[in-house]
Every structure is written in C-alpha cells, then in structure tokens.
Chains A and B, each alone.
Chain A
Amino acid sequence: MERLKANLLALLVAAHLLAITLQALPAPGGGMSRSTWKDPTVQAEFDAWRVRLNGWGWDGTTAQLEDQLWDFAKGFMERRDQVLTPFKPYYKHAGTTQAWRMFVAPHRYPARLELDVLEGTTWRLVYKERDAEATWRGRWLDHDRVRSLIFRFSWRPYRKQYEMFVRRLAKEAARDFPQATSFRARFFKYQTLSPEDTRAGKAPSGRYVEVLTVPLGGAP
C-alpha cells in the first residue's frame, strides 16, 4: 500500500510538472489581436525584425512578416489549446495558471491618462498619471490594480471598459466639482525619448487619443 501511494504521488508530481511547463512555454496569449498589432510600438518591432531578416537573406516586407507571423501564431495557439485542454481543469481549480509575459517589450508609445473638468469655459486638469500636482482620486487611480486597468484602456480591445470607467469617474467628478459642466478623459500618446534626447532636454511630442467627454449636471 505504501509503495502504491509513493508511485501515485510520483505520478501526480510528474503530471503537475508537465502541466505547468506546457502552459509556461512561450505563446502570444492576450496579444493575439490584429488591432493591438497595429500599435506603433508593435509595428516598430516588426519593422526592426524585418530589417534584420532582410539582412539575413529573407526577402519580404514588414506587412508580409506580420501576415506570416499572424498565420503562424494563430495555428500555434490552436494547437496549444488542444494540447492544454486536458490540463485546463487543473489550472482552473488548483490556481496553477502559468502566464509569465512580463515586460516582454518596452512600450515605446505609451499613453498617459489625463482627466479634466470644464469650469466655465476652461478645462482644468485634475488628474494626470504620475503627476505630483494633478492627483484627484489618486487613491484609486494610482493603486497597482487600477494602473493595470489604465494601461489596458489605451488599447483598442478595451474600449468598452474604458467608456464605462470614464462614466463611473464622471459620477465622482460631479460630486467633487459641483460647478463643472463636463468631464473629459483622454490619453496623451507619445514616443518615449531616447537617452540622448532626454539628456539634450527635449520634451516628448505626441497627440491625444481616446478622448471621451461626459456632460455633468453643474451650473452653466
């Protein structure tokens, strides 16, 4: 009986190791979105790899590389899904999910959230990510879990959640700024500066994206 228990335990440990290793193998995961791939950060990566591959003799364009990678990744993810299917109940019920895509690439075109309220005819900045002055609702917005949300909201697949998030914050703004007539959320999307440009004192240039405005019930 003891020997049987020992063999059973050894089998379970082997199954555990197999399950977690298979799921930890590199995979694009949540990055499988064509709209996400169109982000300038991702496009710049494709372009850099295209230049390198051209140098190694592969004759193709960035668009071709992207299409080929998409087809490969799609097929890979389908096959991966089949392989992982028997283990899915184990990941789900034992909490053994393996998703370790951490800082796989720097986001060269990040988006910084800004929130404003319209008072009279002037927009007043009340929150800006990592700003020391504009810190309205910073207790919420600077928490690591909300940082994670805000990071996602600048990506197209999260648009609906972003809209709900802004509407919810507008309710708070209506309470905190009773004179305000509108609440605005937007992301300043810019290219991060190279070390040389930073040392030269340049400021990042960019543009506002994902601009949402919610009317408030304030006095006109």
Chain B
Amino acid sequence: MSAPGRWARWVNWVQERETGETLALLRIALGLAVIGTISTVAAHDLVAFLWLDAASGGYREVAGHGFLYGIIGVTPATVWGGVALGLVSGLFVTLGLGGRLPAFIALKAIQELTDLNGSAGGSYDALLTNALWLLVLGDATRTLSFDCYHRSGQWRDDTPILAIPRRLFLFQLVLVYWSTGAQKVSNYWTPFGGFSALYYILQQPTWHRADMAWVAWIYPLTQVMTAAVWLFELGAPLLLLGLWARRWPESRLSNLARRLPLRGMFAVFGVGMHLGIEALMNVGPFSFISMSYYLALLWPSEARAALDRLTRAVSPKAAPG
C-alpha cells in the first residue's frame, strides 16, 4: 500500500466511533483514584510534612515545586488549596460533571502536588496523570454522567464518540508493561539468576505488608511467577498485535487472533498480578490505577450489557429493553 493510502487508513481508524460506556467507566474509576490518591495524604496528616517547607511543618528547608507552584508560591494556603481543588475535581470527574475541564484540573492538581516533593511518590503518579490526559482528550462524560442527565434528561446516551481515547488507554497499558519488562535486565529476572526476582523483592522491607520469610517455603512458585510476570510484560505488545490482526483479511494469523481469547487471557493474568501485588505489598494507589486501565479492554457493547444486568439487578422496573 502507498504512503498516502496508509495515511488515509490511519485517519479513518482514528475517526472510528463507538458508544461511550467504557470511557465513562474509566472516568469513574480514575476520578475515584484522584480522590483516593490525595485524600490518603491528608488523612495521614502528611500534607505539611511532605509538601511544605520546614517553617510550615515540612521536613525540608525549602519545598520543591513544579510549574504552577513556581508562579503562585508554596504556602500552606496554596498547597491546601491544591488539595481541595484536587479532591473537588476528582469528585467532578467521577460524577461526570463539567465536561473535560475537571479532568484537566485533576491532572494539574496531582502533577503540581506531587512535584512539590518528587522523592515522595512513585510511578503511580505518572500513571494517573497519563490517564487523566486521555480523559481530557476524550468525550468521557457523554454517558453515565451528570452532564448527560443535564443534557438529555437521561443517564445514558448512545451517541457514538471517538474510540481513539479508549484505544490509547490500551496502548498506554501495554507500553507500561513492555517498558518495565524491557528494563528488568537484572540477573534475578532471567534464567541466569534462577528466576528468583520475586522471591527477593518480597524480602525487601520497603513495600511489603508483613514479614515475607514464609515465601521461602513456596520458592518454586515464586520462580514460576517471576518467569510468568517477565514474559507477560515483555509480551504485552502481542495483545495489540492480536487485536490489530483480527481486522486483517482472512489469514492464518488473523484466524488465530480471532480464535484466541486475547483480552480475557491478558485481563486474567494482569488483574491477578495486581491483586497479588496489592495483597502482599503496600504500593499506594498503583494497583487500583493499573486495574482501572483494564476497563479499556471492555468493548462498549460489553460494558453496556454489564450495566444493563446491573440495572436489572438493582431495579428490575428501570432496566432498559
């Protein structure tokens, strides 16, 4: 195919539309993630300790700052203002109130607050801001939102929206796995180190919830899991390849891609892995945010069917159809 032909196909693919249930579910989960991420810092009385300077209760002589706090200054009023703005915007994102603006405000709140002390955070902050940016780009309040109710008098709206934001969520998820997998060059992740990485990671006191010496008695299982996690991460792009191949004309590969339950296999392993991490380690909101991304695996029709079943279960008379 010629370059103009490829470009035209790309443009058409980017323009493909679908109903908005999946993006709405992503919006709800990520709004809750924003609230959870900020509120635990406040609930543990850590706002001043982590994000302000020593004169205001922090541990550092001078607090760091990102772009906006560099302009408005880091004071108790501005930092607590950022906390309040983050919580309110997170609530608005969850409820689907105010279009794309609350997602952008939530993104900025998370980014600016965590930039106040870059050492006190983790990959989950970037995972969350990346997700919020995709909510800014997408029409995430089309359905299952207060905006929808205000606009149409209904909670559901079947007007198609661009599918690309949901697809970008999937791409981001796969990129995270592949990138982290490709950087696991330690011996312990490989056959040379006996696939012992998970066992030794679980012995580090930083993240674990309780003493993990007991895993020495199930060491072979940790070896299997090390190999499985490493291969899952490195092989994550196969999910995108498989989903793409399903659209190809009849061929052995496209037939295989259609037959294999790719999304199901990916979701079962991935969500299982995050539940395992959550059970054994305290990694903050990482597991919740990561699992929120998995909602992007749902086709909107599946999300709609699940919502219909839920509506019927909660209120039989209100169920559509």
Contact = CB atoms under 8 A, between A and B. Distances in A.
Contacts, number: 187
B187 to A, nearest CB: 4
Interface in A98-147: 98-108, 110, 112, 129-130, 139-140, 142-147
Nearest to B122: A148
Interface residues of B, number: 76
Contacts of A161: 60, 119
B201 A103 contact: yes
Contact of B282 (A52, A103, A147): A147
B15 interface: yes
Nearest to A200: B216
A6 B11 CA distance: 6
B133 A110 contact: no
Interface stretch (A75-83, A88-96, A173-181, A212-220): A88-96
A195 B216 contact: yes
Nearest to A168: B59
B269 to A, nearest CB: 17
B111 interface: yes
A195 to B, nearest CB: 4
A169 B60 CA distance: 11
Interface string B182-199: 111111110011001101
Given A9-B14, A97-B129, A144-B283, A130 B205 contact: yes
Given A10-B7, A102-B180, A105-B186, A193 B203 contact: yes
Contact of B203 (A94, A103, A192): A192
Contacts of B196: 106, 195
A149 interface: yes
Contact of A104 (B61, B107, B180, B219): B180
| Consensus secondary structure, chain A interface | helix
Interface string A1-21: 000001101100110110011
Interface residues of A, number: 64
B120 A148 contact: yes
Given A98-B175, A130-B211, A145 B284 contact: yes
B232 to A, nearest CB: 13
Contact of A93 (B67, B123, B184): B67
A145 B49 CA distance: 11
B47 to A, nearest CB: 11
Interface stretch (B72-80, B82-90, B164-172): B164-172
Contact of B192 (A48, A193, A198): A48
Interface in A8-38: 9-10, 13-14, 16-17, 20-21, 24-26
Given A95-B132, A105-B188, A14 B119 contact: no
Nearest to B200: A106
A48 B193 contact: yes
B44 interface: yes
B284 A144 contact: yes
A114 to B, nearest CB: 11
A146 B186 CA distance: 26
B211 A95 contact: no
A9 B216 contact: no
Given A26-B179, A164-B54, A195-B199, A95 B188 contact: no
A74 B81 CA distance: 41
B126 interface: yes
A199 interface: yes
B130 interface: yes
Interface in B192-242: 192-193, 196-197, 199-201, 203-208, 210-211, 213, 215-217, 219
A150 B197 contact: no
Given A26-B183, A130-B210, A107 B282 contact: no
B179 A24 contact: yes
Given A6-B15, A145-B50, A20 B175 contact: yes
A45 B187 CA distance: 7
B44 A143 contact: yes
A208 interface: no
A72 interface: no
Nearest to A2: B15
Q: What 9 pairs across the A-B complex have the smallest Cβ distances?
A: A95-B129, A105-B186, A144-B284, A106-B200, A168-B59, A198-B216, A192-B203, A24-B179, A195-B219
Interface of A: 6-7, 9-10, 13-14, 16-17, 20-21, 24-26, 45, 48-49, 52, 92-108, 110, 112, 129-130, 139-140, 142-152, 158, 161, 164-165, 167-169, 192-193, 195-196, 198-199
13 contacts: A6-B14, A14-B10, A26-B179, A26-B183, A103-B180, A103-B184, A106-B188, A112-B205, A129-B205, A144-B285, A193-B203, A193-B216, A195-B216
Given A13-B168, A20-B130, 10 more contacts: A13-B164, A45-B187, A94-B136, A101-B183, A106-B200, A130-B210, A143-B40, A143-B41, A147-B282, A198-B213
